[in-house]
Amino acid sequence: MNNLSEVAYLIDPALWVREVLGIEPLPWQEEFLRAPRGASILALTGRQIGKTSVAAWAMGSTALFMPSSLSVVACPAQRQSAEAVRRVREAVIKAGGKLEADNVYGLELTNGSRVLALPGSDDSIRGLTVDGWIVADEAARLTDDLIAALRPMRARRPEARLAMLSTAWSRTDPFWMAWAGDDQSWIRLKATADTVHYDPKFLEQERRSLGEDAFKREYFGVPLGAQASPFTWELYERATQVHVPLVPPGPAFGPAVQERGVPIVNPFKSLGGRQ
């Protein structure tokens, strides 16, 4: 690999994936790989759409072409993070990279770059300074505390990229709160069954097996609003909506007028003197 190729692959990791790894990335994956340095990315995906793979390609490219860089990946369980690192390892080796150290939860290249699989807890991940990628995979299942521990890892290296990738889960998880929020600094990518091709027969079989709500969550990125409650999100919005009266306030909205009581003659009073 000559210097011009390295520069081209550093500028365009999608080109590296296509020419070196021999994989044709999907359009949304190309956009993910070409995100500028310092970008914050949200990727709402369906199942088996290649989100972990594209994150691994991104971290592998950075490890190869940015010596001494550090990238990290966090998942709900560390074994899931280890799977992401395994895919990084496969990409690096296929591209001709050399490993200095290698274990289930991390690897180090001979150029000093590292990729680490973090546990799904914020207790033991603080203190890392990341200049490559900070990847939160299945971010909807991560805790707020873990997300809060990941974000400051690029405080000293603002050129690091932060990516939260996830299938849909609930309307109150940290991923969806960011996705549905109004923060325009996020790059939002969507790769669901209405934007990426799935086999129609497979989708129909999944719809019958999972039921409509779970099917939409897993493949269309529609979170459930009533997983632990009999009340749907729509009912909540209706109940908390402020209603303006259709007519101006007036006597009809005031307290009922209390009419004076009518005295009634006691029919037993006249019997009081009788023996």
Q: What is the C-alpha end-to-end distance of the chain, expressed in Å? A: 127
The Cβ-side half-sphere exposure at 254, using a 13 Å CA radius, reads: 4
Q: Is residue 208 part of a domain?
A: no
Find tokens 């010596």 and name the residue.
67
3 state DSSP class of 217: helix
> Which pLDDT value is given to residue 181?
94
**Would you state the structure tokens that stand for residue 264, as one six-digit string?**
């009634």
Range of the domain at 115: 3-198
> Which pLDDT value is given to residue 122?
79
The packing angle between helices 3-11 and 51-65, to 10°, is 140
pLDDT tens across the length of the chain (275 residues): 667 888 899 899 999 999 999 999 999 999 999 999 999 999 999 999 999 999 999 999 999 999 999 999 999 999 999 999 999 999 999 999 999 999 999 999 999 999 999 988 777 788 899 999 999 999 999 999 999 999 999 999 999 999 999 999 999 999 999 999 999 999 999 999 999 999 999 999 999 999 999 999 999 999 986 444 555 555 666 777 776 666 666 665 566 656 666 777 776 666 655 55
Q: Is residue 244 part of a domain?
A: no
Which 3-state string (H, E, C) describes 69-126?
A: CEEEEECCCHHHHHHHHHHHHHHHHHCCCCEEEEECCEEEECCCCEEEEECCCCCCCC
Q: Is residue 221 part of a domain?
A: no
How many helices (H) and strands (E) the chain has is answered by 10, 8
Q: What is the pTM for the complete model shown?
A: 0.79
Q: Is residue 181 part of a domain?
A: yes
In the chain, which ranges are continuous DSSP H helix? Answer: 3-11, 13-19, 27-33, 51-65, 78-94, 144-150, 174-179, 200-210, 212-220, 233-240
Model confidence over 238-249: pLDDT tens digits? 777 776 666 666
Model confidence over 122-153: pLDDT tens digits? 777 888 999 999 999 999 999 999 999 999 99
**Would you state the structure tokens that stand for residue 43, as one six-digit string?**
């990727």
| Number of structural domains the chain divides into | 1
Contact 104, 42 (CB under 8 A): no
Q: Is residue 270 part of a domain?
A: no
Q: Give 93: exposed, middle or buried? Use CB within 10 Å, 0-12, 13-18, 19+.
A: middle
Evaluated on CA atoms 148, 153, 157, 159, the torsion sign reads negative
Q: Is residue 179 part of a domain?
A: yes
What is the C-alpha to C-alpha distance for residues 14 and 271, in angstroms, rounded to an integer? 107
What is the C-alpha to C-alpha distance for residues 61 and 213, in angstroms, rounded to an integer? 37
> Which pLDDT value is given to residue 226?
43
What radius of gyration, in Å, describes the C-alpha atoms of the chain?
Answer: 30
Q: Is residue 226 part of a domain?
A: no
> Which pLDDT value is given to residue 263?
73
CATH number at residue 40: 3.40.50.300
Q: Is residue 260 part of a domain?
A: no
127 contacts: CB under 8 Å, gap ≥ 6: none
